[in-house]
Amino acid sequence: MRFIRTKAAIAVAGLALTMTACGDAGSDSEGADVEVADDAASSFDDGTRMKELADAGTIKVGVKYDQPGLGFKDAASDIPTGFDVEMAKILVASLGIDPEDTSKVEYVETISDNREPFLEDGTVDIVLASYSITDDRRKVVGQAGPYLVTGQQLLVPEDSDVASTADLAGKEVCSVTGSTSLENVKAEGMKPVGFDTYSECVEKVLDGTVEAMSTDGTILAGYAAQNEGQLKVVGDEFSEENIGVGYSKDRPEMCQWIVDTITKAYDDGDYEAAFEATLGPSGVEVPELPTMDECA
């Protein structure tokens, strides 16, 4: 009797293993291939954070999990996908760490609220999470870039007549609680309605409770692509967001490394490939690399 039970347990364990294997097979990331730098550790000066990370061979990256096209993780995959994630992979690879190896690279979910605390207390080493550069944020964390400039637009149902923010004056427009987008909605004379995630706002637009939602055009394009035929992006950009890379203020040497690596990726065409693979399908043209701020 006991023998049969043991056999059954082994069979179940075996089954579980094969199932996990199946799960892995489906999780190939769709992004562009990034080449891992050889002997990266020797190319950095002693005492720098890059040297420490390259020597340790591990890094923790803060990304968004809920923004299709920028940083999005579905339940089936191990690594999030999106342009921010591709940029993170380029940075990680330049340290000689394989960005596809989740035992070495930890993609931590950061929401708008916890990006600064996570950088300050070392929960993450770098943040690429549609992180707008602002003067106030630069008081507490380092921000390198911008590597992408986006502006805020409107996402409305396909059959909507709304063409600009003026059509929505005094009306309720959805965005994420505590985000810059929500403040801009107010500044444009619309009434802000805050939800926890962008996907909840999309639901409220789809069920007709609000006429529109608003945030960065790149994020909206991702949702429009996900709900083709139901939603569309309209209006001119009515704000300018400079998306940058966050790092700890205690490690100012990281700034130059980030700027150099991204500039090199742009020259090599990796930037374009990353953009094509992630935001390309939603119909956004590959932009020129913005002029990045000087590192202090």
Pick between residue 60 and residue 137 the one whose CB is nearest to another protein. 137
Judged by CB under 8 A, the stretch of 50-58, 176-184, 227-235, 253-261 that binds another protein is: 176-184
Which among 218, 216, 214 has a CA at the least distance from the CA of 287? Answer: 218
66 Cβ neighbours under 8 A, 6+ residues apart: 72, 197, 198, 199
Annotate each residue in 98-117 with x if it binds another protein (CB under 8 A) or - if it does not, as one string: --------------xx--xx
Q: Whole-angstrom Cα distance, residue 153 to residue 249?
A: 32
Annotate each residue in 31-70 with x if it binds another protein (CB under 8 A) or - if it does not, as one string: ----------------------------------------
Pick between residue 104 and residue 204 the one whose CB is nearest to another protein. 204
Q: Whole-angstrom Cα distance, residue 88 to residue 278?
A: 13
Q: Is 287 in the site for another protein (CB under 8 A)?
A: no
| Smallest distance, another protein to C-beta of residue 41, A | 33
Pick between residue 71 and residue 96 the one whose CB is nearest to another protein. 71
Pick between residue 194 and residue 290 the one whose CB is nearest to another protein. 194
Query: Footprint of another protein on residues 120-159 (CB under 8 A)?
Result: 134, 136-137, 139-141
Q: Whole-angstrom Cα distance, residue 80 to residue 31?
A: 10
Report CA torsion sign: 108, 243, 54, 74: positive
Query: Footprint of another protein on residues 180-219 (CB under 8 A)?
Result: 180, 182-183, 191-196, 200, 203-204, 207-209
CA angle 239, 137, 277 (to 5 degrees): 60
Which among 228, 224, 226, 227 has a CA at the least distance from the CA of 215? Answer: 224
